[in-house]
Amino acid sequence: MESSDNGPAPTSVLFVCLGNICRSPLAEGVFKHLLEAEGLSNRFIVDSAGTGGWHVGEPPDSRAAYVAESHGITLDSHARQVQSEDTNRFDILVAMDHENLRNLERMASEEEGSAEIHLLREWDPEKSEGDEVPDPYYGGPTGFENVYRMIHRSCEGLLEHLRSGAWAG
């Protein structure tokens, strides 16, 4: 983060899944909600994207939006596909699973990107279900609620990680 006359530049975080209609917009919404609750919204730029382009321009999946709303969170993004320049535009790229992590690492390598790349569940204190956020798209409402809980715990951990100064940015 470079500093300016107005203080340090905001930390930019991009959450990434496959189609950008379930997991990554949910993570974007949860993280923004946590930032707002802590009065930190002005210190971060938060977005989400998908490695695939099938849903570009679409709003989040209605089941993801419903689960978010049931927890007081509004999902206001529209799907977009991650671009190679995102590997330099964002400070941190946060993948939901290993496939998307590998795609981001490949893009960053080709672009000589400077962003740190992580799995979201690196910051989940409850890793009993593995280290990926599973795709709930083909599951029922229970799957979306379970994914919401994983994402919420992980986003809390990510925010704490960033607040503690553990990220060198």
Which one of 23, 63, 80, 121 is the catalytic residue?
A: 23
| Active-site residue flag, 124 | no
Q: Are 82 and 89 in contact (CB under 8 A)?
A: no
| Active-site residue flag, 149 | no
Q: 46 CB contacts (<8 Å, ≥6 apart)? A: 12, 13, 14, 15, 28, 31, 32, 35
Which one of 17, 22, 80, 155 is the catalytic residue?
A: 17
Q: Residue 44: what are its φ and ψ, rounded to 5°?
A: -140, 150
User: Closest Cα partner for 31 from 19, 42, 15, 18?
Assistant: 15
| Active-site residue flag, 22 | no
Which one of 61, 135, 153, 155 is the catalytic residue?
A: 135
CA distance 27 to 36: 14
Q: What residues are annotated to the active site?
A: 17, 23, 135
